[in-house]
Structure formats: structure tokens, C-alpha cells
Amino acid sequence: MAGDLYLHDWDERFHANVAKNVIHHPLVPVLYNDDILEYQPNNWAEGTVWLSKPVLAFWPIGLSISTFGANEFGLRFPSLLFGLLSVWLTFLIGRRLFDDRVGLIGAFLHAVHGMLLRFGGGITSSDHVDQLFTLLFACGIYSYIIYFNCRKKRYLILVGIIAGLAFLTKWVMALFLVLIIAVLHLFVVERFSNYVRDGVLVLSAMVVIAAPWIIYLFVHQPIEIKLVFGDFLTRTDEVFEGHSGGPLFYLEQIISQFRAATLVPLLWLIMVAWRKRSQSQLLLAVWIFLPILLLSLLTTKRGTYLMMSAPAYFLLTGYFLRWFMLRFRSSKKRWVITGVCILLLGLPVHYTIEQVKPFELCFYLPEWRIEMRRQITWFERLGEKVVLSGHPHAMDAMFYYDVLAYERKLNPEEVKALEAEGYMIISPLNDQ
């Protein structure tokens, strides 16, 4: 997890290098800080300009790396901070919607959730980017809750600002936040003209935040940004990088990530939200079910997408437990309450143990890192500029050391071009 002394394959090793380079290129994230070889803008795993994810998440990571160095702590510290803030925000949302008890249960489940812990440790794809996105998503929901309580327009503007920041974190996924707010607002305003006016206010604030960087990219990196937006269109009707699934994919993911016992509170929420239609119940229902509905329409499917609604699942569990304990507290069958608590609170902890594997050894240096350090240090002492060719841990090498590295074996023309620039080409020991 966060203590692993190496970079995880997807996508941390790529994010680590982009964040390291963003210190020198704050407006244009790059993966390879060199353009000697032929540039392939459609090859996200080996390109120079890297727009697979927007730039915002890389700024705090880059700042942390510049402060603490190119190491695991410098890379993962911002995500750990974002994770703590997300837990606190889940508590605040629960307290505003219900009470302190619901907020505490939700915060506990958030703090121990396996997938979110994997985000902070860089294990799951999108890792640190999704950690910030989850925080911003919850901030947007919380800002709207405050608006609902006080009806001051500045909180709608704040929602738009946060949506803009979310767009600069994970592109069009930020539109889910806007859509959730749009649906919730239907139950708040009475006149359609007011609804449109408020919508324009939110979208205007979002555009003010997101548009400057997008315009900058269209001016300075037109090829790359067009490829990015082209990928968004293909994901609606084409499977992207093998991320596919059937019509029940997200139901299966709910059972996997939040455990099957969560289905009971979900069904209960549908019934009570339909019958009572309180604002708190409607907010949880829209926050949970609208993303599922929209995501199910897309051909590309990923379980990590559900994390934008993760705080809602946690708070729903706390809300259901509060209702259940009040309903049956006078019952002589206290074992029923105990059993339900074990299912709804114990199973998520069991899932976390499965995902995090806390009893496995960490804080050890892998053999390949020791050998990599020995090999690179040897050539650097000779005053050579090093390029690794055909190295399985190329991304790690570029992060930990000031070298160029490629996982594929360079062809003779590429080797010749690099040697002409004064680089020493080295391959793994078994290839020499």
C-alpha cells in the first residue's frame, strides 16, 4: 500500500513521472521529459505530452515531490491528505443530512474502505487522481447541501467552481456532479425560470475555472487535446482498453465493493424515498442511482467509477442502521440488531482486509530496485547519460533517477539517435 517501496503498475508509475515533470512544465504535463525520439501523440504510454488525465491532480503531487523528493512518500502524501479530508467531509455531510451518529458511521466506513485505501496507496488504476476527484465530488455535494439550507447563491457558484476543478481532475466525469445537482435542484425550485437561471450560474462558474486551461491546450497542444476528446466520444459506443461488462456490471460491482448486505439498505432507500420524499433521502437516492443508470448506458465500464458515490453508500448504511436500531430497540431479540450490525459493518472491514492485505510484508526494497540502483549508479559515476532499453521497470527508473527508460527494446535507428546525443544505452543484465 502506501508503504510499498516501489511504484504500482496501473497507473501510479505513469502518474508519478508526469507529476515529477510537471514541476518544470506546470501547464503541459509530460511523461517523457525529452523529445529526441519520434513523438507519437496517440501513444499515451510513451508520449511526451500526456493528457490522459488533466493537470490539476499533478500539481499538489509535483509540489510534494519537490518538497520531499522523488520517493514514495513524496508521491503519496497528497493522496493520504486528500483521503483524510474525504473522511472528514463524509462525516460533515452525514451530520447535516441526518445526525452525528450517521456521520460517524459513514466516516468509519469511508476510512476503512478497501478501494479508497488502494487509491491512496497507488495500487488501483487512476489512484491519486481518483482520490482527489472523490474529494472534490463530495465537496460539490456538501456545498449544495449548504445552499439548500440557506438558499444563498454564492454556494451555487461554489458548486460550479468545484465542478470546474473536478473537470480539471478527471475530464468529463465531472459532469456527473453537475447532473446530480441538476436533478436535485428540480425538487428545490418551483419556477422553471429560476431553475434555468441557477443552472446557468453553476455552469458559468464551472466554465470560468475549466475553460482557460482547455483554451491553452487547443492553442498550444491542438493534436493531443483533440485526441483526448475523441476518446471520450468513442467510450460511449466502443470498449476502451478492454474495460467492458454486461448489463448487471455495476450491480456486481456494488456487491463486490460494498458487499451484498448493502443491497438491503439500497432497497429500503428506494421505498422510503418514494414514500416520504424527504430531501435527505432524495439526495442519497440521486447520488447513488443516477450514476449507476448513466454509467450502465456506456459501453466502457469500470468499477472505480462507482467511487464518486462512495460517501453516499457509507452514509446510507449509517442511516439504515440508525432506523433499524430505533425500530427494534425495544425488541427482546437483540441478537437481530447485533447480526445486522455485523453484516453491514463487519463485511466491509473483511473486504478491506482482502484488498489491502495488511498482514503482508511491506517497507522492503525489491531486488529489482537494488539491481537498478547499482546499475544506474555505476554508469552515472562514469559520467554517462543513461537510457534504459527493454527494461520492465522503465517508469520506475525515470521516477527514481534522472534517466530515460523504455519498456520496449529500442530499434537500431533509435539507439543511433540517442547515442548521437551522448546517451549510453543499457539493457537488463540478461540482455547484455
Report helix, strand or coil for 137.
helix
Give every CB contact of residue 185 below 8 A, 6+ residues apart in sequence: 195, 198, 199
Q: C-alpha distances in angstroms, 89 versus 101, 111, 220?
A: 14, 11, 37
The answer to whether residue 347 scores a pLDDT higher than 90 is no
Which grid cell is 376?
A: 544506474
Placement of cell 485505501 in the chain: 117
423 vs 320, more confident: 320
- For residue range 366-407, list pLDDT tens digits in order: 888 888 888 788 777 766 788 888 888 889 989 998 888 888
Q: How confident is the model at residue 136 (pLDDT cuts 50, 70, 90)?
A: very high
**Do residues 37 and 417 touch, judged by C-beta distance below 8 A?**
yes
349 vs 38, more confident: 349
Question: Average pLDDT of 121-129?
Answer: 85
The answer to whether residue 230 scores a pLDDT higher than 70 is yes
Q: How many angstroms separate the first and last alpha carbons of the chain?
A: 33
pLDDT for 237: 64
Distance CA 63, CA 78 (A): 9
150 vs 351, more confident: 150
Q: How confident is the model at residue 238 (pLDDT cuts 50, 70, 90)?
A: low
- For residue range 357-376, list pLDDT tens digits in order: 776 656 677 888 888 888 78
Question: Average pLDDT of 315-335?
Answer: 83
Distance CA 359, CA 356 (A): 9
Biggest distance spanned by C-alpha atoms of the chain: 84
Q: How confident is the model at residue 432 (pLDDT cuts 50, 70, 90)?
A: very low
Question: Average pLDDT of 221-245?
Answer: 74
Buried b (16+ CB within 10 A) or exposed e, 352-366: beebbeeeeeeeeee
Q: How confident is the model at residue 431 (pLDDT cuts 50, 70, 90)?
A: very low
Question: Average pLDDT of 20-37?
Answer: 86
Strand boundaries in 181-247, DSSP class E: none
The answer to whether residue 83 scores a pLDDT higher than 90 is yes
Give CA angle at 292 (236, 107), nearest 5°: 130
pLDDT for 9: 79
Question: Average pLDDT of 2-31?
Answer: 86
Residue 397 backbone dihedrals phi, psi, to 5 degrees:
-60, -45
Residue 389 backbone dihedrals phi, psi, to 5 degrees:
-120, 130
Distance CA 91, CA 421 (A): 56
Q: Worst-scoring range by mean pLDDT, 36-40, 209-213, 236-240, 255-259?
A: 236-240
Q: Quick count: other Cβ atoms within 10 Å of Cβ 238?
A: 12
> Which among 114, 100, 177 is positioned nearest to 142, based on CA atoms?
177
- For residue range 258-291, list pLDDT tens digits in order: 988 899 999 999 999 888 778 899 999 999 999 9
Distance CA 189, CA 249 (A): 35
> Which among 198, 192, 199, 184 is positioned nearest to 277, based on CA atoms?
184
**Do residues 145 and 33 touch, judged by C-beta distance below 8 A?**
no
Question: Average pLDDT of 115-126?
Answer: 85
The answer to whether residue 27 scores a pLDDT higher than 70 is yes
Distance CA 97, CA 103 (A): 9
